[in-house]
Amino acid sequence: MKYDFMRRHADQFSLTGMCRTLSVSRSGYYAWHHREPSTHQREDLALAGHVRRIHAASREAYGARKVWKALVAEGIPCGRHRVARVRCEHGIEARRRRRFKVTHYARRHKRIAPDMVRRQFHVDRPNQCWVGDVTFIGTRAGWLYLAVLIDLCSRKVVGWALSDRNDEPLVSAALRMAITHRQPPAGLIHHTDRGVLYSSGNYRRLMAAHGLMASMSRHGDCYDNACAESFFSTLKNELTHGQAFATREAARIAIVSYIEGFYNRKRLHQTLGYRTPASVDDAAMSA
């Protein structure tokens, strides 16, 4: 392990300094360095290549367990602890998840609907319950607002909209997308916070026209809409954390690519048994 550390940090520290600190000889290191790698070492190197590939494909978001699940799904034989060891030895680390600060908009409306979800975020059928919310993404040109609707059965984002204005047309556009793509049955539960956008007359009429039942969380309790909050936390950690978009259009392109190209179709979800939202949704819709 000492020699391997020296090899991996040869560009950072002098060989003499590492030999002195680790109490090893230069001759011993050179003998190890030029030794033919064992079968186990060659297998570890091959596995490290696969781990790096999965790591990059996941936008540096996956920890050891998800990397392992992805490798097993590809038919690559390996153990979870071996994957964790290889990641550590090769300095492959997931991006650290920062604590997400829940946004509480100042404008609130008197709740016009009861909370029919009551933090029961697991349903067994698609189009049974959607949860919605709005967040903002910072750019050098100003804020870009994102509204989403998520199907609780699969955690799939079924409707979304982007705008430089946080207004009723934004949330209505996300709802229209979801209705157009999903054709939900009457009685679907539509759960949000009680912000003024979701309480507006136009939005309520759009819901009523399609037979959707409004459900609203309690004032100031982010856990009543935890799935939507969790999605925004994931998006900001994996897409925007540490990245400043130059323009709203650049942010728009990145967000659409993340939702449609990665999150819905490729990202493994622990709650779904390490499956993707799209695969769970497809299976449930065809059942």
Whether 111 is covered by a domain: the verdict is no
* Signed CA dihedral, 73, 274, 171, 185: sign only: positive
Long-range contacts of 93-102 (CB under 8 A, 24+ apart): 94/55, 94/60, 94/61, 94/62, 94/63, 95/59, 95/60, 95/61, 95/237, 95/238, 95/241, 97/233, 97/237, 98/236, 98/237, 98/241, 100/229, 100/232, 100/233, 100/236, 100/237, 102/222, 102/229
Q: Which domain holds residue 202?
A: 129-286
Same domain (yes/no): 64, 152: no
Rounded to two decimals, the pTM is 0.77
Query: Residue 221: what pLDDT?
Result: 53
Whether 121 is covered by a domain: the verdict is no
Same domain (yes/no): 149, 279: yes
Query: Residue 193: what pLDDT?
Result: 85
Whether 42 is covered by a domain: the verdict is yes
Query: Residue 219: what pLDDT?
Result: 61
How is residue 164 annotated by DSSP? S
**Of 25-29, 169-173, 246-250, which range is least confident?**
25-29
Query: Residue 104: what pLDDT?
Result: 45
How many domains would you assign to the chain? 2
SS3 148: strand
| Mean pLDDT value of segment 111-130 | 80
Residues 185-237 pLDDT 10s: 999 999 998 888 999 999 999 999 999 999 988 665 555 677 888 999 999 98
Whether 180 is covered by a domain: the verdict is yes
SS3 190: strand
Distance CA 129, CA 53 (A): 36
Residues 50-94 pLDDT 10s: 989 988 888 788 888 889 988 888 899 888 899 899 888 887 887
Average model confidence (pLDDT) across the chain:
86
How is residue 214 annotated by DSSP? E
Same domain (yes/no): 26, 78: yes
Query: Residue 242: what pLDDT?
Result: 66
Same domain (yes/no): 142, 276: yes
Query: Residue 105: what pLDDT?
Result: 46
